[in-house]
Amino acid sequence: MNTINIEEIKKFEKLAHEWWNPVGKFKPLHNFNPIRLKYIKKKLIFHFSKNSKLSNPLKKMNILDIGCGGGLMSEPMARLGANVTGVDASKKNIEVAKLHAKKMGLKIKYIHGNLESLKFNKKFDVILNLEVVEHVANLDAFINHCSKALKNDGLMFVATLNRTLKSYTHAILGAEYILRWLPIGTHEWDKFITPNELESLVTKNKLNLLDTMGVKYDLLSGSWKFDSDISVNYITTIKKN
């Protein structure tokens, strides 16, 4: 089953030229990246160092970045030594990502396409699903394809938005209409997924949700911080059994 939401792809293709502008339309993601990277790096080192003699267990790790956009997370993971494959359904996004990686001297394999139509010759140690699941057409099918692409004992990270009244006031009314951090229409509240819904889906697809952490924007410091409150933004660690 096709998981691509054409309208969502068109929405982001219009902004493709903005990916690497830190004060442009994707400024919130640029601000969000450090805490996402911190969380993911810590979990990867803890999980994979147990069975690795390498001082840097991320070195040569095979990572699949789904919905990679312009490569905002693919590039730092490549700098940490991982073999990164970035996939995006927007051709324009992939073109931007390839151009920027070349400019930075980074070897990242970028592919235009959707997960279910791609035939990989390997399974991945890690899958990144960051701000993606709220934009797909069939989440059950999407998680199923992710599970098939992940190695046993591999990790998947899902960062998304909870479907609560607070997320509507903060992420849509606040971020889109009042603060104008994001273009109006970037998110659709009814497509947000609760942690319980996500856990049910991953369990159904032979995955195990290990950790859920809230992330919150601190207006005083102008940065994102970890928080016990998962009512708006949250990130999860998921393992394949």
Instruction: Using the CB atoms, write b or e for 191-224: b if 16+ within 10 Å.
Output: bbbbbeebbebbeebebebeebbbbbbeeeeeeb
Residue 153 has pLDDT above 80, yes or no: yes
The pLDDT of residue 67 is 95
Are 79 and 106 a contacting pair, CB within 8 Å? yes
Question: How would residue 218 be classed by pLDDT, with cut points 50, 70 and 90?
Answer: confident
Overall average pLDDT of the 75-98 stretch: 96
Residue 128 has pLDDT above 90, yes or no: yes
Q: Taking the domains of the chain in order of start, what are their residue ranges?
A: 6-240
The pLDDT of residue 109 is 97
The pLDDT of residue 56 is 78
The pLDDT of residue 55 is 66
Rounded Cα–Cα distance for residues 166 and 213 (Å): 16
More confident residue, 118 or 50: 118
- Tens digit of pLDDT for each residue in 45-84? 999 887 666 667 788 899 999 999 999 999 999 999 999 9
Overall average pLDDT of the 226-230 stretch: 96
Q: Average per-residue pLDDT in the chain?
A: 91
The pLDDT of residue 201 is 97
User: Domain 6-240 falls in which CATH fold?
Assistant: Rossmann fold (3.40.50)
What's at 80, amino acid-wise? Answer: L
The pLDDT of residue 52 is 63
Residue 6 has pLDDT above 60, yes or no: yes
Instruction: Using the CB atoms, write b or e for 53-69: b if 16+ within 10 Å.
Output: eeeebbeebbbbbbbbb
Residue 172 has pLDDT above 70, yes or no: yes
The pLDDT of residue 138 is 92
